[in-house]
Amino acid sequence: MNESSLDFDVPLEQVSAEAAEEETHELRSVIQRHNHLYYVKGVPEISDAAYDRLFRRLRALEERFPDLITIDSPTRRVGASPRTDLPTIRHCAPMLSLDSTQDPAEVLRFDERVRRAVEADHVEYLLEPKLDGVSIELVYERGVLTRAVTRGNGLEGEGVTDNARTIPSVPLRLREERPIPEFLSVRGEVLMPLTAFEALNESIMEEGGEPYANPRNATSGAIRQLDSSITATRPLECLGYEVLDARGVSFRTDWAVIEALGAWGFRTPERAERVRSADEILAYHGAFQSDRDNLDYEIDGIVIKLDDLDERVDLGSTSHHPRWALAFKFEPRKEVTRVERIAIQVGRTGVLTPVALLLPVEVGGVTVARATLHNREELERKDIREKDLVRVQRAGDVIPQVVEVIPEEDRTRASPFEMPDRCPNCGTRVQISGPFTLCPNRFGCSAQLKGRIVHFASRSGLDIEGLGSETAALLVDRGLVDELVDLFDLTVEQLLELPGFASKSADNLVAAIQGRRSTQLRRFLFGLGIPEVGVSVAGDLAAHFRSYEALRDADEDALQAVRGVGPKMASQIRSFLEDPKSHAAIQAVFERMIQLDVPEVRQGEGPLSGRRFVFTGTLQSMTRARAKQSIEALGARASSSVSKETDFVVAGEGGGSKLERARELGVTILTEGEFLDQLKVETPGP
């Protein structure tokens, strides 16, 4: 179907409902094709005027026949009605961050670890540019975009479906160049081209507004708009690069994933390559670093990913990042400025951190006025003093830090900076723990309390809107909150006495706090600030123990039974929970909670409950990823290494040292057929 075959001469009032249905279907097909050619392929076939004619006709038909409007219509890209909030939505699969390095030697060590782990004759990597944008999950059901979710904390994010529909390079309906799966979850990156970013800032400044600091901030602000018609005016692009979940299709390699995404209508990362050696990785990184300043989009390095998806299952992931991938970052951009003063910041865990207060300087498009000096030993090693001229960088192009002191002739330097022997906030004598200086007054130091309040109310914690660092400081300094439990006793009248609060903001904060007395157990556990317990570990603890009381009473052995919890972490969790003051403070908060929701059990219950499987070699009937999903659905757990706790080793073709280890330990070895009998399922398709 093309434009010439469409009859625009028939006046709208003379078009029947049946004819309108046929014409809108044809128009959508034509417009979606031209969108793909223009925004994804970059090879438009018609003029803007011709495209506008098609679009106006479709919109006019939909206005006359509203029943014909579909969620995948190109007209939906102009935005929907403004929302009052962005809902929190759980991801289909965790969106993990990547381990990263700037050291070529670490890349070589990564390559060596991967080669040892997969036991393969050769290893193939997929290399891509590391895009500096905003991660997003796009979910398609029967080929139609049904929801879009920001990365958030990796487990859940904000629903931005209406906003995502306005981005021209996001397919509203998957192209049928290859079979479309029944369900598809895609991870992508939303970004703003540099030329478009500069034009946007110019227009904002012409209207007297405050320009964005960098393209990533502009992108984040645009994708999280409550009014999607505003998002539609922003020059955003989206690239798809990973399948998080799929039903009705499977892949053996990441390269096949990229090819499929391209066939389904996604823009995919430019210059993706497959290589087999560390030397090729270094060459790819060097080529992109040389071109970095000539690109029309921000990248901060390259991504190295094991291409074989079965081998990825063997390597597995930590609670923070996959073991089969590494971000190889570029050297950060650096600038020169002066240290005006060195201040001490006391965090929620009591660590005293020296901070350089700088003469403001722009580093990579962001104005930097302060930078961490990390700890006592780092400060002494670099010998940074007040009034020094220093070189500053943003680590990972994000966190400002002082790299080095720049010598100045004929200038007398200040005396070496010394860490205080007492906490600058509460006056308690500090303690030394390795390179760190600590205030031990956990429950009497107001700076630590302010940090605990912010952590408790954070997005990954109880997500209490309006309770940020400034408000936390006010509540503590005015004596309204002496411990976390006091938050639940705050009144509107008390808040109205504070600067910056009016009736509505006071009502909203009190309501937000009371509304979080019912929350998810994992949010509650994260918000408590238990040592070593981040977002992922909090989720694992909640899923395993299913109540705060069960966690509170668990010994170290019980804690180590939780995925990702080792001896050191278990010891720190146990010490914190059994400390009398910690116990009393947490118990007081716990008793004020109304309900702590527990996640559905995903593992641990079923006919294979408690069994541990290890896979080796290549399975013919399914991928190892599919096999892992199958046993987890029946209550078992997959592991990447053979130990005394392993119940079964499933041996496919080409099994290696894991088989020998299984024989040494007397672990039961299953053929693929025997494994399928264990599952009690028919042999699945590819």
Among 383, 411, 438, give the residue marking a domain's end.
438
Is residue 603, in this structure, part of any structural domain at all? no
Band (632; pLDDT cuts 50, 70, 90): confident
514 near 488, Cβ under 8 Å?
Answer: yes
- 471: domain CATH number is 1.10.150.20
Tell me: do 633 and 652 sit in the same domain. yes
CATH of the domain at 131: 3.30.470.30
Verify that 548 and 653 share a domain, yes or no: no
pLDDT, tens digit, 9 for 90 and up, residues 30-52? 888 887 777 677 677 887 777 87
- Spatial separation of the C-alpha atoms in residues 127 and 302, rounded to whole Å: 7
- Decide: 219 and 166 in contact? Cβ < 8 Å: no
* 405 lies in some domain: yes
Q: Considering 555, 571, 597, which residue would you say is the last residue of a domain?
A: 597
Together in a domain, 134 and 203 = yes
**Backbone angles phi and psi of 505, in degrees to 5:** -65, -35
Return all residues near 103 (Cβ < 8 A) that are at least 6 apart: none
Asked if 223 and 128 sit in the same domain, the reply is yes
CATH number at residue 25: 1.10.287.610
pLDDT single digits (tens) 352-377: 999 999 998 888 667 888 888 988 99
Distances 578 to 100, 551, 552, 571 between C-alpha atoms, Å: 35, 11, 8, 11
Region of poorest pLDDT, from 200-214, 251-265, 493-507, 657-671? 200-214
Integer Cα distance of 310 and 684 in angstroms: 16
Q: What Rg do the C-alpha atoms of the chain give, in angstroms?
A: 28
Residue-wise pLDDT tens digits, 497-544: 999 899 999 999 999 999 999 999 999 999 999 988 887 788 889 888
Residue 205, token pair as written in the block: 């400044």
Helices (DSSP H) in 207-300: which residue ranges?
A: 215-223, 228-231, 254-263, 278-291
Same domain, 380 and 414: yes
Regarding whether 200 and 65 lie in a shared domain, the answer is: no
For position 82, what pLDDT does the model report?
Answer: 64
Residues in Cβ contact with 568 at an 8 Å cutoff, skipping those fewer than 6 apart: 532
Residue 686 within any structural domain of the chain? no
Of 41, 130, 628, 680, catalytic: 130
Give the number of C-alpha atoms closer than 13 A to the C-alpha of residue 615, restricted to the C-beta side.
Answer: 28
The total of structural domains in the chain comes to 5
User: How does residue 9 score in pLDDT terms, banded at 50, 70 and 90?
Assistant: low
The pLDDT assigned to 78 comes to: 67
Q: The whole model's pTM is what?
A: 0.60
pLDDT over 70, % of the chain: 92
Q: What is the pLDDT of residue 339?
A: 94
Model confidence over 478-489: pLDDT tens digits? 999 999 999 999
Q: Does pLDDT of 190 surpass 70?
A: yes
Same domain, 138 and 183: yes
pLDDT of 1 higher than 50: no
In a domain, 413, yes or no: yes
Residue with more model confidence, 468 or 127: 127
Give 218-222 contacts, CB < 8 A, sequence gap 24+.
218/192, 219/133, 219/134, 219/190, 219/191, 219/192, 220/134, 222/163, 222/192
Domain extent, residue 429, equals 334-438
* 3 state SS for 596-658: EECCCCCCCCCCCCCCEEEEECECCCCCHHHHHHHHHHCCCEEECCCCCCCCEEEECECCCHH
Do 453 and 408 reside in the same domain of the chain? no
Helices (H), 482-615: 492-496, 503-515, 521-527, 535-545, 548-552, 556-560, 567-578, 580-592
* CATH number, domain containing residue 634: 3.40.50.10190
Which amino acid belongs to residue 573? I
**Residue 682 pLDDT class (50, 70, 90 cuts):** very low
| 65-91: b (≥16 Cβ within 10 Å) or e | beebeeebbbbbbebbeeeeebebbeb
Last residue of a domain, one of 313, 329, 345: 329
pLDDT greater than 60 at residue 491: yes
Question: Is 606 part of any domain?
Answer: no
Indicate whether 539 and 465 sit together in one domain.
yes
Residue 398 predicted with pLDDT over 60? no
Instruction: Report the CATH number that the domain containing residue 348 is assigned in CATH.
Output: 2.40.50.140
**260/194 same-domain check:** yes
Question: Do 360 and 423 have their domain in common?
Answer: yes
**Average pLDDT of the chain, as a whole number:** 86
> How far apart are alpha carbons 626 and 613 in whole angstroms?
13
The answer to whether residue 74 sits within a structural domain is: no
Determine the pLDDT at residue 230: 86
Residue 515 inside a domain? The answer is yes
If one counts every other C-beta atom within 10 angstroms of the C-beta of residue 650, the result is 25
pLDDT of residue 680: 58
Tens digit of pLDDT for each residue in 320-338?
788 999 999 888 778 899 9
What span, in angstroms and rounded, lies between the C-alpha atoms of 172 and 144? 6
The answer to whether 292 and 364 have CB atoms below 8 angstroms apart is no
Cα dihedral across residues 71, 74, 76, 77: positive or negative: positive
- For position 239, what pLDDT does the model report? 95
Is 569 in the same domain as 628? no
Residue 634 has pLDDT above 90, yes or no: no
Q: What is the pLDDT of residue 8?
A: 63
Is residue 130 annotated as part of the catalytic site, yes or no? yes
81 in a domain, yes or no?
no
